[in-house]
């Protein structure tokens, strides 16, 4: 979730007295039982598929678990080895005590790749997951084949300069404090009533994500926000020497209301392209109409974009071990 979206709900979160959460929605269709399921440090990983094509690693958004990627996992698993990561403190996974969640989880990510002999993988992340994908590509691009950020990494907000670290930090701190104050038993209601409505189009999808994300630890969510939304990514873009696709949503109804700069998709695309300057192989494409949760708003269009991008990549030279 970008800070632009958080800013819209911050005031509501501060004032909200959450209602009892009564959402009743089905979990997205499962891709089936994982071939393997294990923990590597702070990360939980489920494995699917056994194909020889490019291995794929999916990282979820804030408040979410691997279930938000189930549609993509089911579509890619016949031809690819797929790894679905669950992050600590989110959607029912136990929180951890760490000075830096990002340092801890990215360190465990590289450990996971080494222990499981995962090579030439494409990392695909949504929102927070996209930000983590960018960070990983800045750390060790030589250990990945490509990354995809589905509306991840970019920090924009009316009146806030993304290059003004002090202003951005103050804004993020206000939002994080609001989230941390939500009682755990009322977190699902806060998601449904205040946080998610600007980000998902379908009411049934909204209820589903709120229900599944209700077990997020509010303190963990606040820490993820503090770390991810103030991270200075752009200075490291020159190190992202692998293909990098940013997928941008545009909704003609909600985007202009959320940010007056986004009157058209072309206006928004220009902001994203400016953000990516410095990434040698970075590119942006848009999916419309869609709000932030593209995996729910436009699943078929998202899959087509991912499949097309992956098809342009070289065949892996080394296959992962069984």
Q: Which residues contact 205 (CB under 8 A, 6 or more apart)?
A: 293, 296, 297
CB 87, CB 43: distance < 8 Å: yes
The pLDDT value given to residue 158: 53
Q: pLDDT-based confidence at 159, cuts 50/70/90?
A: low
How far from the centroid of its chain's Cα atoms is residue 56's Cα?
15
90: nearest Cα among 64, 67, 108: 64
The pLDDT value given to residue 27: 54
Pick 245 or 13 by higher pLDDT: 245
The pLDDT value given to residue 258: 84
Q: In the CATH scheme, what is the code of domain 3-311?
A: 3.40.50.1820
The pLDDT value given to residue 260: 85
Q: Could you give the C-alpha distances from 63 to 48, 50, 139, 266, in angstroms and in order?
A: 22, 29, 25, 30
Query: pLDDT at residue 72 above 50?
Result: yes
62: nearest Cα among 175, 157, 167: 175
| 3-state secondary structure string across 170-211 | HHHHHHHHHHHCCCHHHHHHHHHHHHCCCCCCCHHHHHHHHH
Query: pLDDT at residue 121 above 80?
Result: yes
Query: pLDDT at residue 163 above 90?
Result: no
The pairing of beta strand 144-150 with beta strand 80-86: unpaired
- The pLDDT tens digits of the residues spanning 169-205 come to 888 899 899 999 999 999 999 999 999 999 999 999 9
| Spatial distance between the Cα atoms of 8 and 186, rounded to a whole number of angstroms | 20
The pLDDT value given to residue 170: 86
Q: What one-character DSSP code corresponds to residue 41?
A: T
The pLDDT value given to residue 26: 47
| Spatial distance between the Cα atoms of 156 and 233, rounded to a whole number of angstroms | 13
- The pLDDT tens digits of the residues spanning 241-289 come to 999 999 999 999 999 988 888 899 999 999 899 989 899 999 999 999 9
Q: Output the pTM of the full model.
A: 0.90
Could you give the residue ranges of the DSSP H alpha helices within 42-194?
Answer: 70-76, 101-115, 128-139, 165-180, 187-190
Q: Could you give the C-alpha distances from 94 to 41, 149, 221, in angstroms and in order?
A: 12, 25, 12
Q: pLDDT-based confidence at 166, cuts 50/70/90?
A: confident
The pLDDT value given to residue 66: 97
Mean pLDDT calculated for residue range 1-26? 39
Pick 226 or 1 by higher pLDDT: 226
- The pLDDT tens digits of the residues spanning 15-70 come to 333 333 333 344 567 899 999 999 999 999 999 998 899 999 999 999 999 999 99
How far from the centroid of its chain's Cα atoms is residue 15's Cα?
27
Among the ranges given (45-54, 146-155, 172-181, 310-319), the one the predictor scored with the smallest mean pLDDT: 310-319
Q: pLDDT-based confidence at 7, cuts 50/70/90?
A: very low
Q: Is 114 helix (H, G, I), strand (E, B) or coil?
A: helix
Query: pLDDT at residue 5 above 70?
Result: no
Q: Could you give the C-alpha distances from 169 to 3, 25, 228, 231, 232, in angstroms and in order?
A: 10, 36, 11, 9, 11
- The pLDDT tens digits of the residues spanning 202-227 come to 999 999 999 999 999 999 999 999 99
Pick 30 or 102 by higher pLDDT: 102
């Amino acid at each position: 979730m970008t800070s632009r979206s958080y800013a819209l709900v911050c005031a509501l979160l501060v004032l909200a007295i959450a209602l009892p959460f009564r959402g009743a929605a089905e979990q997205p269709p499962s891709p089936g039982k994982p071939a393997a399921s294990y923990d590597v440090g702070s990360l939980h990983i489920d494995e699917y598929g056994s194909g020889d094509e490019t291995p794929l690693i999916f990282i979820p958004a804030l408040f979410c678990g691997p279930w938000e990627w189930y549609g993509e996992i089911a579509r890619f698993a016949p031809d690819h080895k797929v790894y679905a990561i669950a992050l600590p403190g989110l959607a029912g996974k136990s929180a951890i005590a760490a000075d830096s969640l990002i340092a801890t989880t990215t360190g465990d990510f590289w450990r996971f790749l080494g222990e499981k002999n995962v090579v030439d993988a494409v990392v695909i992340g949504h929102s927070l997951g996209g930000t983590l994908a960018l960070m990983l590509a800045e750390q060790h691009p030589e250990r990945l084949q490509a990354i995809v950020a589905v509306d991840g990494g970019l920090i924009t907000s009316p009146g806030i300069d993304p290059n003004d670290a002090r202003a951005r930090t103050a804004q993020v701190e206000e939002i994080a404090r609001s989230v941390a104050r939500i009682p755990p038993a009322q977190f699902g209601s806060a998601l449904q009533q205040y946080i998610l409505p600007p980000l998902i189009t379908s009411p049934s999808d909204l209820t589903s994500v709120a229900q599944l994300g209700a077990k997020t630890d509010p303190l963990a969510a606040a820490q993820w926000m503090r770390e991810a939304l103030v991270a200075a990514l752009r200075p490291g873009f020159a190190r992202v020497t692998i293909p990098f696709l940013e997928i941008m949503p545009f909704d003609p109804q909600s985007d202009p209301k959320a940010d007056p700069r986004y009157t058209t998709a072309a206006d928004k695309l220009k902001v994203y392209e400016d953000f990516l300057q410095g990434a040698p192989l970075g590119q942006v494409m848009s999916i419309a109409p869609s709000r932030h949760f593209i995996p729910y708003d436009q699943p078929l269009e998202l899959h087509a974009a991912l499949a097309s991008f992956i098809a342009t990549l070289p065949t892996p030279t080394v296959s992962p071990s069984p």
